[in-house]
């Protein structure tokens, strides 16, 4: 879910980054994954703490845990590298919000690894405030920086993860801020509510603007597959919902020529690589986009062809027909209006709820 910041305008020297993340699985031991994948210089972090989130940028008193890296409180993350913290004893309930606080000392950061528009407010404060219960005079951001996930180490032998590979629709664009209303959050809550599936985590690997075939707003799904799917801990299932941005850029950037066969080939490659790794894979049909700013009749023909291939090719272990679920029966090229955010491309909260509710729990035996 990471990408490179092309502007590098964030003041990330002598600051505390306090970032809030929602975890789906509960457990008693955690570790944090940090990334300098797009960096061109070493990233220095001299203190890192993990706590339960309270309101705003505050943490629950008494829940703070200092993290170490090779039993040291500081770490240097080399350019292009991903590092895990040491496991820390930390009892956390399912569907909890955690706060990761990182202190970045005075340094020149080059090549910022971040995730834009996380649908979650995080905070940037001057100086080292990682152990503070509350932050004062902190700037707010909806991006995550250098943070690539939390592993919840479960003692349940059946525990595993569902990775969802996608674009802004999976990322939860325009979902209500700080409310965890993405369709993947809805699915995670449903899984946790039933004992037969409560052992499964949901890992959201959506990137706004991302494409299946060509690089844009981060590496393409093909390019980032190993990092965002295969390198995740305990992956047993994969859901793929991506390709609408490839189609839309026929209008925005015609030089990136794409056709249905190329998108089908990319999806076939992803499905095959997942299956080779022992991962069950489900294909999501592309949602309608009639009325969107980059809609075209040529693109619609590609979308319909790709969706028909997803439904009929048997390249997947199952199909999640989001197109059929969300389209207007009277005008199948467009959303049902009650699920349309307003840009004719993204769902609103009700639409995300409908998507998450529609995924059958029986797909995850």
Position 16 pLDDT exceeds 60: yes
Of 224, 127, 237, 133, give the one whose Cα is nearest residue 188: 237
Q: Residue range 72-84: average pLDDT?
A: 97
The answer to whether 57 and 178 are in contact (CB under 8 A) is no
Position 207 pLDDT exceeds 90: yes
Position 330 pLDDT exceeds 50: yes
- What token pair was written down for 330? 């009277």
Is the alpha carbon torsion for 357, 358, 360, 363 positive or negative? Answer: negative
**228 DSSP assignment:** I
Position 223 pLDDT exceeds 90: yes
Note the pLDDT of residue 110.
Answer: 86
What tens digit of pLDDT does each residue of 252-278 get? Answer: 766 678 999 999 999 999 999 999 999
Note the pLDDT of residue 39.
Answer: 94
Of 69, 168, 78, give the one whose Cα is nearest residue 119: 168
Q: Residue range 49-55: average pLDDT?
A: 97
Note the pLDDT of residue 6.
Answer: 45
Position 3 pLDDT exceeds 50: yes
Position 151 pLDDT exceeds 50: yes
Note the pLDDT of residue 143.
Answer: 95
Q: Residue range 191-213: average pLDDT?
A: 96
What tens digit of pLDDT does each residue of 174-184 get? Answer: 999 999 999 99
Position 4 pLDDT exceeds 60: no
Give the separation between CA 2 and CA 218, rounded to whole angstroms.
7
Return the percentage of the chain with pLDDT > 70, whole number: 96
Position 93 pLDDT exceeds 80: yes
The answer to whether 167 and 210 are in contact (CB under 8 A) is yes
Say how far residue 5 (Cα) sits from the centre of its chain.
16
What tens digit of pLDDT does each residue of 232-248 get? Answer: 999 999 999 999 999 99
Confidence class of residue 158 from pLDDT cuts 50, 70 and 90? confident
Arithmetic mean of pLDDT over the chain: 94
Of 59, 117, 158, give the one whose Cα is nearest residue 364: 158
Return the percentage of the chain with pLDDT > 90, whole number: 90
Position 56 pLDDT exceeds 50: yes
Give the separation between CA 33 and CA 45, rounded to whole angstroms.
13
Note the pLDDT of residue 5.
Answer: 53
What tens digit of pLDDT does each residue of 306-328 get? Answer: 999 999 999 999 999 999 999 99
Q: Residue range 16-33: average pLDDT?
A: 96
Q: Residue range 54-74: average pLDDT?
A: 97
């Amino acid at each position: 879910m990471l990408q490179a910041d092309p502007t590098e305008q964030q003041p990330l020297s002598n600051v505390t980054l306090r970032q809030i993340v929602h975890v789906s699985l509960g457990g008693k031991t955690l570790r944090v994954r940090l990334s300098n994948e797009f960096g061109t210089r070493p990233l220095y972090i001299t203190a890192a703490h993990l706590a339960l989130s309270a309101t705003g940028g505050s943490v629950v008193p008494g829940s703070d845990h200092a993290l170490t890296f090779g039993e040291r409180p500081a770490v240097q993350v080399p350019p292009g590298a991903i590092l895990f913290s040491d496991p820390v004893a930390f009892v956390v309930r399912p569907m909890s919000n955690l706060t990761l606080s990182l202190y970045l000392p005075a340094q020149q950061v080059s090549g910022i690894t971040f995730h834009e528009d996380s649908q979650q407010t995080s905070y940037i404060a001057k100086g080292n405030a990682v152990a503070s219960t509350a932050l004062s005079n902190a700037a707010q951001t909806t991006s995550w920086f250098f943070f690539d996930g939390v592993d919840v180490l479960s003692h349940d032998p059946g525990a595993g993860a569902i990775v969802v590979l996608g674009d802004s629709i999976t990322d939860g664009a325009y979902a209500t801020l700080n409310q965890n209303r993405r369709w993947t959050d809805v699915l995670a809550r449903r899984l946790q509510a039933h004992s037969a599936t409560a052992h499964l985590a949901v890992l959201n690997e959506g990137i706004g603007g991302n494409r299946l075939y060509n690089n844009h707003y981060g590496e393409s799904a093909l390019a980032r597959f190993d990092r965002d799917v295969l390198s995740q801990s305990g992956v047993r299932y994969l859901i793929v919902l991506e390709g609408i941005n490839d189609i839309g850029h026929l209008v925005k950037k015609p030089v990136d020529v794409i056709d249905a066969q190329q998108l089908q080939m990319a999806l076939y490659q992803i499905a095959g690589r997942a299956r080779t790794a022992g991962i069950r894979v489900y294909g999501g049909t592309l949602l309608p986009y009639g009325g969107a700013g980059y809609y075209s009749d040529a693109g619609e023909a590609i979308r319909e062809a790709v969706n028909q291939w997803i439904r009929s090719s048997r390249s997947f272990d199952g199909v999640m027909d989001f197109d059929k679920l969300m389209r207007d029966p009277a005008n199948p090229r467009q959303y049902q209006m009650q699920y349309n955010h307003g840009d004719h491309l993204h769902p609103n909260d009700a639409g995300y709820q409908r998507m998450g509710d529609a995924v059958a729990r029986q797909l995850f035996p």
